[in-house]
Every structure is written in C-alpha cells, then in structure tokens.
Amino acid sequence: MGKNKLKKFAEMETFASVFQYPWARLQREVFPLKGKWHEEYFHNDRPIVLELGCGKGEYTIGLAERHPDCNYIGMDIKGARIWSGARLGIEKGLDNVAFIRSEIESLESFFAPGEVAEIWITFPDPQMQKTRKRLTSARFLSLYRSILAPGGTIHLKTDSPFLYAFTSRLVSHNSLPVIRETADLYGSGMADPVTSIKTYYEQQWLSRGKSIKLISFTLPAEAPLADPEEDDIERDDYHSYPRGITQCMPEELSKLNS
C-alpha cells in the first residue's frame, strides 16, 4: 500500500464522521451504532439515507448540502476514496453526514431493521457476468429490505444500458411500485436538483455522449423477490475493457479495436 493511502487511512482514524469496519474487524467487534444512529450520532430523528458504493462521496455530500432535513451515510470498501468525501464534509461543516468503510454485504451489521429510509446506488459495476454480485439483484434487494423502513425507496442512477434494463425488468417481474423511471435523465426533463448531482464518473460518461438512466422504486416489506431472465439483454461493450482502457476517449477505443 502506498504512503499516500496509508496517510489517508491514518487521517481517517481521526475523523469522527468515518467508521472503518471491514469484514475482519466485524468478526472481532460489534458495531456500536447499530440501531442507535439517530440517538447517538445524528442526535435527531430525521430520515437516514444511505448511498452504497459511494466512492469519493460526491453524491452523499451533495445530498447532505441540499437536504439538511435528512441524515446521509455513504458506504464503500475503498478507504482512500471515502477520505475525499469525509474531508469535504468536514470542510463544509456538515453535521448530517457519516461514512462507513466496509463491504456492502455487511449492511445488517451496521443498521437495525427499519433504520434506513432510502438507498441510493450510483454508477455501480453492472456485474454483467455475475448476477449475485449485481447491486440491484434479488439477493441484494433482500438484504436492503432487512434494514429499510417498510415501503422504503431505492434509487439507481447508472450509465449502463444493461444494468438499467435488468433492473427495470426485475422491478416489473416482482411488481415493485415505480416512482420514476427514465432511460435519459437529462434529455427527459426529469432531472431535478437531487438527480442532477454529478459524480466524477458521471461527468466522464456525459462527456462521451452517454445517456444517464434513473429508476426509483419502493420495496414492499414482504413481497417475494426473484431475478428475471436476462439472456436477451444486450451487454455493454465498453464495460468489457480493463478499467484503465475505459478511461480513454471513444476515438482512442476505436484505435484499439482496429
């Protein structure tokens, strides 16, 4: 691990807004705020909104700035990324923000049933070959339901046509109530101050002419969940390249293919 990352990890240990509990630590310790976020951290009863795979925390911070009437928690396993959002939150003096460094599969270790009101999933890996690892699969929705308030809301914002099509089909397959849905957020006129918050990666996709997709739906407390058929959903070619190559502009990709 580079010295810069080590420095960030060490600095985050001093941030009161950051909780670093990767899987190994959770095997040794019980997370102390589970079921107590309102009373012992935020000191209010405002709704808790969770961003999964928050990266650098741009969305978490943007939401917290726009809606001080809610509490926001960003979660990611990449500590060096969380450092950016946590530091920005401190600089802005935001008292309605927290960050968790841990695996998303460990959600139940951090939140009690019904403790979370909404979940945002922003630009996740579409996991085209691994349904169980897809953050909008039935497996993960079942996990989210264990911590969401009854009828809690899930928002997916993605550049991936595959992930959007899969999620839209899953929502329909399970008869989940849709709040809003669009395959072209900015072209549809549906964008608002919340959905218009742009992460670093979203700005990259927009600069390459890609449309941003959004689907928001509620998750009933007891409805059975199942993944839909997906063999006929077209895969995203540009996601098949290694991460370093996907940073190239389209003309550079065409050279690689020639």
Its pTM stands at 0.89
CB–CB of 70/76 below 8 Å? Answer: no
**pLDDT computed for residue 80 by the predictor:** 81
Per-residue pLDDT of the chain (258 residues; tens, 9 = 90+): 566 778 888 888 899 999 999 899 999 999 999 999 999 999 999 999 999 999 999 999 999 999 999 999 999 998 888 999 999 999 999 999 999 999 999 999 999 999 999 999 999 999 999 999 999 999 999 999 999 999 899 999 999 999 999 999 999 999 999 999 999 999 999 999 999 998 888 888 888 888 999 999 999 887 789 999 999 999 987 654 443 444 444 444 343 333
Neighbour tally for 20: CB within 10 Å: 15
CB–CB of 51/74 below 8 Å? Answer: yes
Q: How far apart are CA 46 and CA 64, in angstroms?
A: 12
Q: Are strands 97-101 and 71-76 parallel, antiparallel or unpaired?
A: parallel
Known catalytic residues are 125
At 83, give phi and psi (nearest 5°): -50, -40
**pLDDT computed for residue 238 by the predictor:** 60
- Structure tokens of 139? 């497996």
**pLDDT computed for residue 251 by the predictor:** 44
Q: Residues with Cβ < 8 Å from 149, sequence gap 6 or more? A: 114, 115, 116, 117
- Structure tokens of 98? 């927290």
CA distances from 90 to 45, 53, 161, 193 (A): 21, 20, 36, 22
Neighbour tally for 218: CB within 10 Å: 16
**pLDDT computed for residue 252 by the predictor:** 41
